[in-house]
Structure 1
Amino acid sequence: MSRMDHRNNRRKTWISRVSQYVDSSAGRISLTIALISIIGLYLYGREIRNKIAGVPTPSVVFRDKKRRRVLIIGGGYAGLLLAKALHHKLRDAPVHIEVLEARDKFYHNVASCRAVTEPGFGKQLWIPYDRFPVFVRRNCQVTDVHTNYVVTATNEEIPFDYLVLATGSINSIPSKFPITTASSQAVATLGRIQRSVAEAQHILIIGGGAAGCEIAGDIVDRYPSKRITIVEALATLLPGRAVTDEMRKVVTEKLARRAVEIVTGARVLLEDEEFELSGAGFPEPRRRVLFTDSGMALDSDLQIVCSGNLHYNGHCLQKLAHTHPTILDEHTHEVCVRKTLQLYDPMLPHIFAIGDVANCITSKTIVACEIQAKVAVQNLLVLLNAEFESGVGRDDLPARLKALVQVEPLQEFGVPGPLLFITLGRSDGAAQLPFLGVLGGWFMRRLKSQDGMTASWWRQLGYDNVLSNT
């Protein structure tokens, strides 16, 4: 045997042993821990490097002895992540942090696909704010934003020194509910949808993005004999630019293997006013024949619309945009921001926007929200320190803004790598990870598929157990 053959045999033996170890229970646990560590470094790498290098967390003490007030509009994923991180950094500083939220409870919509199939699961998605470490003013809808105060729907004026807009996006039920919908009403609607899914034989899902694929995966996982059709207007499922071709292929093949019918490149014509997506209801389940723009007839007895983010909640900036027109996209109502996540107009350095409502070129995911929240927190701390050093009083707004405009350098938001998690029922899914490509069901079962990360978000809001205070 030649030396080259000997090396090849050793290499094959080594690869075989590694494969056997990875397929074993211990191997999968080790690999899962390694992957979670990589994701942690990806999300928190800069913060870890700063601590190792001895970069201090900015301290805040103001010469005028007046507390500064940071308002966060929106108690969704982005707003809560920022509020919690800022509270941790400014625990002993003279800064009041407050969240203004139009809803009465937090809606964990990432797991809404599970509520479509499992009785009672919808109740778990609405989490009280009572134990969150930052004060959340519930049922508080902001209608107008001015330079240093906001106006609520009850005409109350609430002053601020710094403002963060995290008002999110508008989508169709069950992915999102209108902000005026009470949690009890939403839970009842989710229960009605779940019962409708259980009774239906042919379900039409309109939209093949992440929400549509996850709902299809959950339904076919629980009801394998039901006929399910996904119709996507664009050429492929998961058409977002942050999704890799490998991820699209894996998800499409997994759904096709479960006999989900997939129609792409066809737009469903929704002329029925029941499908008005900004409404608070869900179409009454009944047999309908809908048509695509190419004339294809689609006969089904339940229709679920999952057509992506349709509009963004930047309406409260409309009056401010009259004098600062560059801060708001008048068509989508996305808030226009710089790379520092401050509003695009440089004369408003004390107002930020993060999450879905910000027009960052990135996917609208919790991961993006978390990275943006960290950037905004760091920049808020820098501005607060700069305000301390300038010695300008809180009540001298023009001088404060002039001083803040000159503060640099600030941290910039970089578009995160291809990180995406798609559940397809409790036991399957696909994870798109930077550097590692796409991983399958065993990884997703441990990360998201079991409960849609519901338990972890109850912990985020201060609860040890799901439903411990409902």
Structure 2
Amino acid sequence: RVNFDYLVIASGSMIPSPAKWTVASSKEGLRKLDEIRDDIVQSERIVIIGGGACGVELSGEIKYAFPSKSVTLIHDMPALVDYPRFPESFKEEARRYLINQGIEVILNERAEIEGLSRENSVQKAERAVKLKGSDRVIHSDLQFFSIGIKVDTGFISTLEPPPDKSTFDKRTEPSSFDAQTLLDPKSRVIKVRSTLQLDHDAFPNIFAVGDVSNADPVPTGMAAVAAGETAARNIIKLIRKEEKKAAGHQYHHPHLHQHQPSEDTTEVGDHSDDETNGYHCHSWNKLENYSPTQTLMVLAMNPSGGVSHLPVLGTWFGNLAARVAKSSDLFSGRFWHEMNMPRP
């Protein structure tokens, strides 16, 4: 077990490869990417299942690098990147961009492909792809599965409430605590309050941000960064609150000061008007509520452009924004810079 004063859970998510790999080193990940590139080179008819952000970007990148190959994107929804709060104009712009690249986009269709699954998300094999909504069959020699985001929150079962904390309901025995109540029953993400603290009075010092929490309806990298910054500011406020409490206790220590305040006197360190559940601070240092990020998404369809939806501007300048902000290096330069580390 690991003891801590404050904890931020930012364990992210898993999506089918090649968007993310479960590997032990970057060297192994690069080797797998080289293998997939070799598969693409040796294939002529490529099918991608799933029209979310990853499926859309993968389709565009393959067609850009290998324009002579047939690329088909199959999605079971009426629109690509069909996320909450994003306008239809953005979704239609993504579809139009792919079509202009020469990609066949099939919507409102489910496909059956033998051997293809989340666990086996890249398959180099001759397959007849059957569309469930019609009698159409698409012949393919390389298939990608690009559906669904999954989080691993099994570690939550090891979490135990601290019975000595004032935030824990003394009427409830620790043995009756069920860690599963911290998780959304369907998505298995961690339920958090508006302050990004776990949605349970026993854990005011534990925060969850990014894909692993339910703070944002659309989990993106930019949303995770914003949530992380909010959690950091709230932890600083909690630390300062504890420091002020400690200073107050020292001030009232009977061996240091003989004077005792009367019942109607409020002195340094008196936090009688703090909220008893422990997840809000005193009025001078109230915790910050996290607001879900604005509808902002950048889809890099290829190294020279893509589609974007920006606050206020919408899809205007979308291709330019994608080219300037993401397409050239997929944000890697920005994050190396923010970590104050040289880009490899």
Contact 1:362 1:416 in 2 (8 A): no
Alpha-carbon separation, structure 2, partners of 1:376 and 1:292? 45
Alpha-carbon separation, structure 1, partners of 2:246 and 2:13? 38
Matched, 1:449 2:288: no
Aligned positions of 1:330-341 closer than 5 A: 330-341=185-196
Matched, 1:313 2:156: no
Q: Which residue, out of 379, 386, 402, partners 2:234? A: 379
Q: Which residue, out of 399, 422, 425, partners 2:302? A: 425
Shift of 1:282: 5.2
Letter in 2 for 1:162: Y
Matched, 1:390 2:267: no
Contact 2:125 2:142 in 1 (8 A): yes
Shift of 1:464: 2.8
Provide, for residues 168-213 of structure 1, a one-character-per-residue CA deviation record: whole Å limited to 9, x for no partner. 11210011223x5433322211110111112211110110111111
Alpha-carbon separation, structure 2, partners of 1:361 and 1:445? 26
Contact 1:420 1:432 in 2 (8 A): yes
Alpha-carbon separation, structure 2, partners of 1:232 and 1:202? 17
Contact 2:216 2:223 in 1 (8 A): no
Residue of structure 1 in register with 2:139 after alignment: 299
Name the TM-score, length of structure 2 as normaliser. Answer: 0.80
Secondary structure, in 3 states, of the residue corresponding to 2:341?
coil
Shift of 1:403: 7.9
Q: Which residue, out of 61, 68, 74, partners 1:218? A: 61
Cα 1:406–1:245, aligned 2, differ >3 Å: closer, same or farther?
A: closer
Alpha-carbon separation, structure 2, partners of 1:403 and 1:300? 58
Shift of 1:458: 2.9
Residue of structure 2 in register with 1:26 after alignment: none
Matched, 1:206 2:38: no
Alpha-carbon separation, structure 1, partners of 2:14 and 2:114? 19
Instruction: Name the larger-Rg structure.
Output: 2
Alpha-carbon separation, structure 1, partners of 2:277 and 2:90? 47
Provide, for residues 260-299 of structure 1, a one-character-per-residue CA deviation record: whole Å limited to 9, x for no partner. 1011111223552xx342x4x6544121123233254232
Q: Which runs of 4+ in 1 moved over 4 A?
A: none
Name the TM-score, length of structure 1 as normaliser. Answer: 0.59
Matched, 1:346 2:201: yes
Aligned positions of 1:4-403 closer than 5 A: 157-178=1-22, 181-270=24-113, 272=115, 275-277=116-118, 279=119, 283-294=122-133, 295-309=135-149, 311-320=150-159, 322-391=177-246
Letter in 2 for 1:314: T
Cα 1:211–1:368, aligned 2, differ >3 Å: closer, same or farther?
A: same
Alpha-carbon separation, structure 1, partners of 2:117 and 2:71? 22
Alpha-carbon separation, structure 2, partners of 1:417 and 1:456? 20
Alpha-carbon separation, structure 1, partners of 2:146 and 2:326? 20
Secondary structure, in 3 states, of the residue corresponding to 1:228?
strand
Shift of 1:430: 1.4
Matched, 1:407 2:281: yes
Cα 1:183–1:330, aligned 2, differ >3 Å: closer, same or farther?
A: farther
Contact 1:268 1:292 in 2 (8 A): yes
Alpha-carbon separation, structure 1, partners of 2:313 and 2:280? 41
Secondary structure, in 3 states, of the residue corresponding to 2:112?
coil
Alpha-carbon separation, structure 1, partners of 2:215 and 2:145? 25
Letter in 2 for 1:164: V
Alpha-carbon separation, structure 1, partners of 2:113 and 2:213? 28
Residue of structure 1 in register with 2:263 after alignment: none
Shift of 1:320: 3.2
Cα 1:203–1:345, aligned 2, differ >3 Å: closer, same or farther?
A: same
Greater percentage in helix: 1
Unpaired runs of 5+ residues, structure 2, are: 161-176, 250-274
Letter in 1 for 2:305: D
Contact 2:157 2:179 in 1 (8 A): no
Shift of 1:326: 2.8
Alpha-carbon separation, structure 2, partners of 1:345 and 1:238? 33
Matched, 1:460 2:338: yes
Cα 1:181–1:291, aligned 2, differ >3 Å: closer, same or farther?
A: farther
Letter in 2 for 1:447: A
Contact 1:324 1:345 in 2 (8 A): no
Cα 1:405–1:415, aligned 2, differ >3 Å: closer, same or farther?
A: closer
Cα 1:351–1:226, aligned 2, differ >3 Å: closer, same or farther?
A: same
Alpha-carbon separation, structure 1, partners of 2:218 and 2:123? 32
Alpha-carbon separation, structure 1, partners of 2:305 and 2:287? 41
Shift of 1:237: 0.8
Contact 1:347 1:405 in 2 (8 A): no
Task: After superposing the two structures, state which structure 1 stretch, 405-414 or 227-236, moved more.
Answer: 405-414
Alpha-carbon separation, structure 2, partners of 1:210 and 1:451? 17
Task: After superposing the two structures, state which structure 1 stretch, 207-216 or 243-252, moved more.
Answer: 243-252
